[in-house]
Amino acid sequence: MKKTVSASITLQKRLEFSRKSLSCLGLLTTASVFSHYVHGADIDFIDENMESIDIGARLEQGYDLVAIGGTVFQMNRMVSLISAALRKDVAVVVGGAAAMTFPDIFKRKGVSLILGESEVFVQDFIKDFEKGIPKSVYKASSGPGFDLSCCLTPDFSLISGYDYTFVGVQTTRGCPVGCEFCQVSNWLGTKYRHKDVDQVIHEIKIVKSLWPDAFFFFYDDNLFADLRYSKKLFKKILSEDIDLGRWGANADPSIYRQDELLELMTSAGFLDYLGMGFESLSYESLKTIGNSKKAGLQKSYDFIVEKLSKKKIGVFGYFMFGFENSRAQDIKAIVDFIISHNINGQISQLIPMPGTLLYERLVLEYEKKFGKIKKGSVGRWNVIRKFLTDKAGISKTEVITLISQAYTQIYDDSRMQYKRLLPAPFI
């Protein structure tokens, strides 16, 4: 992939555009919760996508607590930051995607894990921390999730000095669909919850005031899951005379049927990024993902993109490769689809993540065939990842080669003639 990136100016620009995106809403919300419960809390915020730091020198400033969040693919850096803090006898609290996926990686004396929404647990953590007896893990067994109508505004002032190219807000959490490969339902519950429209408008105005020229984005997995809510939101955006400028959101392909909503969306700004989880062009693969509606839409994918393009909506297709029945020609079909429609897109390897229905199914299949996996959580994950590629009959090397070749075609610099294709972020 490094070779592919180095050969494409287009791809380099996309990756840089994505790197300079605001990706820390969880921690910014947590910071607001801390300030709400700790009078006079003095908080520094560091986004390492935007700023390189000497962690040792930073810790010399005398912090009481270090809070860390990150993705699975940032785990090594997270562990090094935790170790640096503990060497200075500074307590650590960790949350976010990596902690919820591999909590065992971060468990050690002096570290507390928040496995869920910070609004639910931070108050209890603060009380325990002030008493000097913080728990090692804060985790809810089940429940409907935090009531977002009571959600605090993320403290955007903490990062106002960063020059983001791609920034926005989140309006909803949770998902009842339960796609086999997705972690969202397991992490955030199976019920859609959303902030009050007035709260969202307030956050949009803050973001637009701090980064007026940035690409504005709604960080929801599907902003339009609740059609009544999304229509109410966009009517409010228009009534407040808010110009989102160049903006984007994620949606299900079925959004193409909602003409009234599409009109509201295009009136709110230049809708240059409507991310859609097409997942695959293979009907057989789509039947396996646990979302029957997606397979039913597959024959309409060409029409959907054509309709949205006519409305001057920029489509960004999310595709995956590596299903159990994937074949090399599946990637070719995806590449042809992206190029023929002059849209943006990304192709990801399907990775069975712990906590998903896919992962649990594959573990049962593997252990029934080969016996219990006697490895730690990451080792167990690697075994299951290989098991999936073996079932597909495509090696890890072949998958990387096929995806690299696909990106070489999709992000060929000659496609720069289509101005709508650049720049566009990866999510």
What was the pLDDT predicted at 162? Answer: 96
In the predicted model, is pLDDT for residue 416 greater than 70? no
CA atoms of 26 and 102, how far apart (whole Å): 18
Q: Which residues contact 311 (CB under 8 A, 6 or more apart)?
A: 262, 266
Write the single-letter amino acid at 303.
F
CATH number of 2-20+164-421: 3.80.30.20
- 8 close to 414: Cβ distance less than 8 angstroms: no
pTM higher than 0.75 for the full model? Answer: yes
pLDDT at 160: 95
Tokens of 382: 């690697």
How long a stretch of residues is the chain?
A: 427
Closest by CA to 26, choosing from 72, 81, 67, is 67
Contact 198, 232 (CB under 8 A): no
Q: Across residues 288-314, what is the average pLDDT?
A: 92
User: What are the tens digits of pLDDT across the range 335-349?
Assistant: 999 999 999 899 999
- Region class of 188: left (phi > 0), else alpha (psi between -120 and 50), else beta: alpha
Confidence of residue 106 (pLDDT cuts 50, 70, 90): very high
Q: Identify the CATH number of the domain defined by range 25-139.
A: 3.40.50.280
Give bridge partners of residue 115 from the DSSP assignment: 139
At a CB cut-off of 8 Å and minimum separation 6, what does 129 contact?
65, 91, 112
What residue spans define the domains of the chain?
2-20+164-421, 25-139
45: left (phi over 0), alpha (psi -120 to 50) or beta: beta
pLDDT the model gives residue 419? 57
